[in-house]
């Protein structure tokens, strides 16, 4: 019994989140109709706060190698990603509370499913166990399918959910097949065991074909989750169709969890430990994998940016933009070294701020006007300066211009790539950033450089709560562009996977 308590204490955040998910479901039953959104949302926020508190307490504590019967791993890396997920969830909950787009009934379920999805992200980020990783992925995915189709009356929302389900199923099947092959080769579902076994196989030099097939399939699964090309096609349709708070969740939290799992997978299985060294063949394979990821990165950012160019719908444009950003982040993954991985973490945090902000503005705009067209933003800057100014901050960060965090984040990614020898990739990314300037600033132009008279809508009134949310995000976006030191240290510390 003591052992159980001891082991379970390492998953207090997960337990806490589960508890509050259930509470949210129960509260919904007892709250008077019409007040669910506020009450249930409030309880969900409390839960997230408590979870964040437990996570904070866990940070920096050195646990046994693999607590919870060897299934989970608690380290700064997983804690960072869980905090990331909790933060994203908090904003999504707040957005939902402020949004009118989500259906007026059945709020408890909504929050319940949202928290469950967060739980999936938790497991995805903190395990070396392939089975648990898969379960986390499924929990996250299935919850996401439901969320994407949550606007039941809306045809687009339904279509989004349907497409999401189909591709999710295919991808998870492919990935599961990859996992099975790995199990077959090594007899273990634990990455910490699989890694050394693979090293032995490389040392024996029996050829790498089975390993290649297995990795390739797993990689395809991960690529789907982070929407890297050419596995990204579901993204724009789903992002556009889903209710905006859900889109925000998918673009930020879900993608972040995907990256966490990908980094852990690559590190445990395919990057030779520098202190032990590895067989020649393994080094070569690791580099080959890196190059493949680099090619995917280039493809992803280029396709994402080019497609974003012609979009007229703001949300769809941001969906492509988030694909392009996955490409940038993959640059850091492709380096397969510590510097690259910590730049990935840094960029994800930056990405968190600017994307939450941009989607928040879209949500609010759509909420008040029922419109998501870029052209209809004309003159908004003069009508609603606060919303428009923060939006410009997010756009500038998305392009990657100083003094915002977007610039610093890209800077670290670029340097990591160049140091690794991916100069070509950095050039491609540079050109892509230039292209992205065009479509991001089309939004800014519509808002500011058109006379007020052309404005289609009267003021988009930002409620104080919403204005505060936007300001927090905008301040974060700018702040980490200037005072990035502590965040960088934090990310580097959390990047404990590679030494």
CB of 233 to another protein, least distance (A): 4
Q: What are residue 336's phi and psi, to 5 degrees?
A: 50, 35
Radius of gyration of the chain (CA): 22
C-alpha 313/C-alpha 180 separation (Å) is 41
CB of 46 to another protein, least distance (A): 37
Q: What are residue 313's phi and psi, to 5 degrees?
A: -90, 130
CB of 163 to another protein, least distance (A): 6
State the DSSP H helix or E strand holding residue 399, giving kind and residue range, or none if neither: helix 385-399
**Binding residue for another protein, selected from 206, 452, 461, 475, defined by CB under 8 A:** 452
The region of 19-27, 46-54, 58-66, 166-174 touching another protein under the rule CB under 8 A is 166-174
Bridge partners (DSSP) of residue 373 are 313
CB of 290 to another protein, least distance (A): 12
C-alpha 390/C-alpha 385 separation (Å) is 9
- Measured from the CB atom, is 6 or 287 closer to another protein? 287
288 binds another protein (CB under 8 A): yes
Selection from 167, 171, 338, 175 nearest residue 263 by Cα: 338
**Binding residue for another protein, selected from 68, 94, 229, 271, defined by CB under 8 A:** 229
**Binding residue for another protein, selected from 147, 220, 331, 474, defined by CB under 8 A:** 220
29 binds another protein (CB under 8 A): no
CB of 260 to another protein, least distance (A): 21
Measured in Å, how far apart are the chain's first and last C-alpha atoms?
36
- Measured from the CB atom, is 215 or 248 closer to another protein? 215
The region of 37-45, 170-178, 191-199, 366-374 touching another protein under the rule CB under 8 A is 170-178
169 binds another protein (CB under 8 A): no
C-alpha 361/C-alpha 14 separation (Å) is 31
C-alpha 319/C-alpha 101 separation (Å) is 18
231 binds another protein (CB under 8 A): yes
Selection from 334, 340, 298 nearest residue 427 by Cα: 298
| Longest CA pairwise span in the chain (Å) | 74
C-alpha 128/C-alpha 145 separation (Å) is 25
Show Cβ contacts of residue 361 under 8 Å, excluding neighbours closer than 6 positions. Answer: 387, 390, 391, 394, 470
Bridge partners (DSSP) of residue 129 are 190
CB of 303 to another protein, least distance (A): 5
Contact call for residues 349 and 84 (beta carbons, < 8 A): yes
* Contact string 297-316 vs another protein (x = CB under 8 A): -----xx--xxxxxx-----
- Measured from the CB atom, is 66 or 432 closer to another protein? 432
Contact call for residues 359 and 251 (beta carbons, < 8 A): yes
* Contact string 243-282 vs another protein (x = CB under 8 A): ----------------------------------------
CB of 193 to another protein, least distance (A): 22
Selection from 223, 202, 299 nearest residue 265 by Cα: 223
Considering only residues 392 through 451, tell me which ones interact with another protein, judged by CB under 8 A: 435, 438
The region of 26-34, 141-149, 295-303, 362-370 touching another protein under the rule CB under 8 A is 295-303
- What is the DSSP code (8-state) at residue 453? G
491 binds another protein (CB under 8 A): no
Quickly count: other Cβ atoms within 10 Å of residue 203's Cβ.
13
**Binding residue for another protein, selected from 74, 171, 182, 194, defined by CB under 8 A:** 171
CB of 226 to another protein, least distance (A): 13
**Binding residue for another protein, selected from 90, 98, 133, 163, defined by CB under 8 A:** 163
Considering only residues 310 through 349, tell me which ones interact with another protein, judged by CB under 8 A: 310-311
Q: Which residues bind another protein (CB under 8 A)?
A: 163, 166-167, 170-171, 174, 208-209, 212-213, 215-217, 219-220, 223-224, 229-231, 233-234, 236-237, 284, 288-289, 292, 296, 302-303, 306-311, 435, 438, 452, 485
């Amino acid at each position: 019994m003591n052992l159980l308590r001891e082991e379970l204490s390492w998953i207090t955040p997960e337990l806490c989140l589960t508890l509050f998910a259930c509470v949210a479901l129960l509260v919904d039953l007892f709250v008077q109709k019409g007040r669910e959104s506020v009450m249930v949302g409030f309880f969900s926020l409390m839960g997230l706060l408590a979870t964040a508190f437990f996570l904070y307490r866990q940070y920096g504590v050195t646990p046994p190698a693999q607590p919870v019967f060897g299934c989970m791993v608690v380290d700064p890396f997983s804690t960072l990603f869980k905090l990331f997920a909790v933060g994203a969830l908090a904003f999504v909950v707040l957005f939902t509370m402020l949004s009118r787009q989500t259906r007026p009934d059945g709020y408890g379920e909504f929050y319940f499913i949202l928290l469950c999805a967060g739980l999936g992200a938790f497991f995805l980020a903190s395990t070396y166990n392939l089975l648990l990783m898969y379960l986390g992925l499924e929990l996250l995915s299935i919850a996401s399918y439901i969320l994407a189709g949550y606007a039941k009356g809306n045809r687009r929302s339904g279509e989004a959910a349907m497409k999401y389900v189909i591709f999710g199923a295919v991808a998870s099947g492919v990935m599961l097949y990859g996992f099975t092959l790995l199990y077959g080769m090594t007899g273990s579902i634990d990455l910490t065991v699989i890694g050394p076994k693979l090293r032995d196989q490389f040392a024996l030099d029996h050829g790498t074909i089975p390993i290649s097939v297995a990795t390739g399939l797993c990689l395809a699964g991960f690529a789907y989750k982070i929407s890297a090309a050419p596995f990204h096609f579901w993204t724009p349709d789903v992002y556009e169709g889903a209710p905006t708070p859900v889109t925000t969740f998918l673009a930020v939290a879900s993608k972040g969890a995907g990256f966490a799992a990908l980094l852990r997978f690559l590190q445990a299985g395919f990057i030779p430990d520098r202190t032990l060294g590895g067989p020649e063949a393994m080094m070569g394979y690791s580099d080959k994998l890196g190059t493949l990821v680099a090619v995917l990165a280039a493809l992803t950012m280029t396709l994402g940016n080019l497609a974003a160019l012609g979009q007229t719908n703001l949300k769809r444009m941001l969906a492509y933009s988030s694909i392009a950003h996955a490409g940038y982040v993959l640059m850091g993954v492709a380096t397969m070294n510590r510097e690259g991985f910590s730049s990935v973490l840094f960029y994800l945090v930056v990405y968190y701020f600017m994307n939450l902000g941009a989607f928040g503005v879209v949500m609010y705009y759509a909420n008040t006007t029922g419109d998501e067209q870029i052209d209809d933003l004309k003159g908004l800057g003069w009508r609603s300066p606060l919303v428009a100014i923060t939006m410009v901050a997010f756009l500038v960060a998305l392009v990657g211009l100083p003094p915002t965090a977007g610039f610093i984040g890209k800077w670290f990614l670029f340097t990591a790539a160049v140091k690794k020898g991916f100069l070509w990739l950095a050039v491609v990314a540079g050109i892509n950033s230039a292209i992205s300037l065009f479509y991001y600033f089309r939004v800014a132009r519509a808002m500011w450089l058109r006379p007020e008279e052309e404005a289609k809508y009267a003021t988009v009134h930002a409620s104080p709560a919403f204005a505060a949310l936007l300001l927090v995000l905008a301040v974060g976006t700018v702040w980490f562009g200037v005072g990035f030191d502590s965040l960088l240290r934090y990310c580097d510390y959390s990047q404990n996977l590679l030494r």
